[in-house]
Structure 1
Amino acid sequence: MIAAKNIAFGVKGKQILHPFNFTTDQEEFIVILGPNGAGKSTLVKLLSNGLKPSSGSISYYGKELSQWTLDNLAKYRAYMHQESMIASSFTVREVLEMARYRYPETKNFFNKTVIERIVDELNLQPLLDLEFNFLSGGEKQRVQFGRVLLQLESEGEIQPVKYLFLDEPLNNLDVRYQIELLKHARKFVDEKRGSVIVVMHDINLCYQYADRVLLMQKGKVIKDGTVREVMSQELLSETYQIELEQIQSQDGEVFYRHVSYSSNLLDNVK
């Protein structure tokens, strides 16, 4: 369980995140949505212990973050950055293996097996012996996603809900790998392994994969609820300052588009 009470964040007199309460105590796919500068990345960094709040408190499983050691916390939450540079010339294989170093017997059968499984699932085999820093942006994203999945893998004992934080993980990925990454993140939730808390920009992908949406604007969470509660065309249009319409296909799929898109099509027909 994560409980954030009245957390806020500011720097040099500027309020980046206004006071906010947040709780999650079950496996769920949470998307933090909103325009640029809304405070999305700041919020996910605060919740994952990447930043310290200017005020308020955050606890995991009833224990304040200040009371956790980094080694212990790393077994229960993993954070995937937007940036993917690594200071040293590690290979992809070494980057993935580093995700397991906090666990005893890092060379044991379980660690070897779980690394092989993630490599296979994410199609990372061709990259294993390449230097990470010379990969393309999309390849780095895939490797980093594999790393955070591996960080939360555990053997044997029953575990509490774990937390996978992803800050704009779709950057640099082509359509195929965007969908594959989101499917794996959704699987993490559906298999009761934990919760995903992800910063996204794509409204349509958010609608397809999220259980819960935090919609942000100007450092405030203006709506927190289910997809249907939050993602109305009126609220999204107001938040993004652009006129959107919600379309439903014959098979029930919902997606959003800019209103002028349909008008342009009619003009082209004429």
Structure 2
Amino acid sequence: MSKGNRISNRTGFLKLPFRIARAVLDHFYPPVCINCEVAVLSPDTLCAGCWRKLRPISAPLCERLGLPFEVFIGPDALSAEAIADPPEFDRARSAFVHNDVARALISRLKFGDRPELAKFCARLMLGAGAQLLEKQTILVPTPLHRSRQFQRRFNQSGELARQMHKQGGFVVDPLLVIRQRPTRPQIGLTARQRAHNVAGAFAVTPDGIERCLGHPLVIIDDVMTTGATVNAITRALRQKGFERIDVISFSRVVIGGTDPI
């Protein structure tokens, strides 16, 4: 038997106790849907009913904002929103329209002490944002103010970025951008109020500039609504010389969809 085969067999043998433990756990505590908690075949996934309710965003879509089009209107087409009010960032992509199921998942991640949901969300975000990601990309989680992070115990965007690193190998820099002042929750604010609320709220750290300048950046967020937050982050980064800045979120609010959380 070759050395490679011996190592392979030994590795398989070492994994056996974990497989047995998983089988025992699944027998007594069968995996459930991460949204509605009905029984499913494997952990960290949705049941068929919840999958059907999600609305994936795929082509055709706006090249800048990632908003879905009902019909194909040509390559690199822009939505009316992107033409009327061009974003600060280059491109945005989201995995799903922000409907009831997407909202429930993000609410559990943010407020329900369920950071393990980030693993599921990140996998789908990697697929949705594949066009924006390259080997040199650095992921930049949308930062929370330290007081807000203390209340929640973790930053949901940071958890999403961490899982994207684990699954896709992309570098994450959670200290490139900081939220230098607390802001009101964006819930219930108009687009103008949201923009005013986060204006000047973000700063780029000197050490972060030294680490990241020259790399393409992708801002990671859970939900994109009007884009006020990611626009404010992008504006702060542009002032420090960063050029290529894109955005990936789990869900995206569109006209006719569910109100944001």
Give the TM-score normalised by structure 2.
0.30
Looking at secondary structure, tell me which structure has more helix per residue: 2
Looking at secondary structure, tell me which structure has more strand per residue: 1
Structure with greater contact order relative to length (CA < 8 Å, sep ≥ 6) = 1
